[in-house]
Structure 1
């Protein structure tokens, strides 16, 4: 029951984070600025981003629910989660709103590092982080391509 309560709490927190990030995107992928960028040939269609983030946040919420139900990890995982949350939400603002592509690349690289830290140090349930890490690798490559080709 404790795992379920934590999982539901993180569903709310993570999907609220996605909504906040979306709010600060300044038109995001539909903006003239983004539409006129040279994008990587492997850039997925727009609908894939929404589907991917939905799946990622479901897996991440389950992962966090399981991790937070283990008492010996709650403080460290709290710090790591807060850092990941801030980096995830702020990337949208930095990239889309402020159009600071290099700073966004640093941001997403840090976020990927934080998730990899979780993967290698909190070994229980780490398979639930794989969709997030894989997506971050793809997103990092897209961000880097835009930096290099614009």
Structure 2
């Protein structure tokens, strides 16, 4: 990958990578804080479909996805002129905020119906982000594919939980 930011130096480049990944993991941590109590209380009272994964799977999956997201955003930041990267990275930031908003809607507010609306918006934002990233760095777009697949599954799960409860 040829970098438009090659002049930043290896130290600043690594620092930027750490910051992008740290931002994503930080959002994940905030979502986890919102989720933590409800997982062992309110969530246990919900009827769940047979395809609902065990609770232990969510932490490792989300950690992996947040790392991939951070690397993807960093690659776009590194590869593109700041004026070109600004729009895709703004959409990326918006989808991160909506990602957190889903945790608040579903687990914080105990409102699966509202969470359906939020996750549908998230699906569209992640798809849009991937398409925008693709114009700058194909690998960055591919790094978002597991995230898109997981939230598509989460959308199905969320809709099903909302309907059967």
Question: Same fold per TM (> 0.5)?
Answer: yes
Q: 1:1-150, aligned counterparts within 5 Å?
A: 1=10, 3-25=13-35, 27-31=37-41, 33-69=42-78, 70-71=80-81, 72-123=83-134, 124=137, 125=139, 126-150=141-165
With CA pairs under 8 Å and 6+ residues apart, which has the higher RCO, 1 or 2?
1
TM-aligned CA deviation for residue 128 of structure 1: 0.2
The TM-score, its normalising length taken from structure 2, stands at 0.84
* Runs of at least 5 residues in structure 2 that lack an aligned partner in the other structure: 1-9
**Whole-Å separation in 2 of the counterparts to 1:94 and 1:66:** 31
Residues paired across the two proteins, number: 149
TM-aligned CA deviation for residue 29 of structure 1: 1.7
* Runs of at least 5 residues in structure 1 that lack an aligned partner in the other structure: none
What does residue 6 of structure 2 align with?
none
Does structure 2 conserve the Cα–Cα contact (< 8 Å) formed by 1:68 and 1:77?
no
What's the Cα RMSD here?
1.5
TM-aligned CA deviation for residue 6 of structure 1: 2.4
Does structure 2 conserve the Cα–Cα contact (< 8 Å) formed by 1:3 and 1:66?
no
**Whole-Å separation in 2 of the counterparts to 1:113 and 1:4:** 30
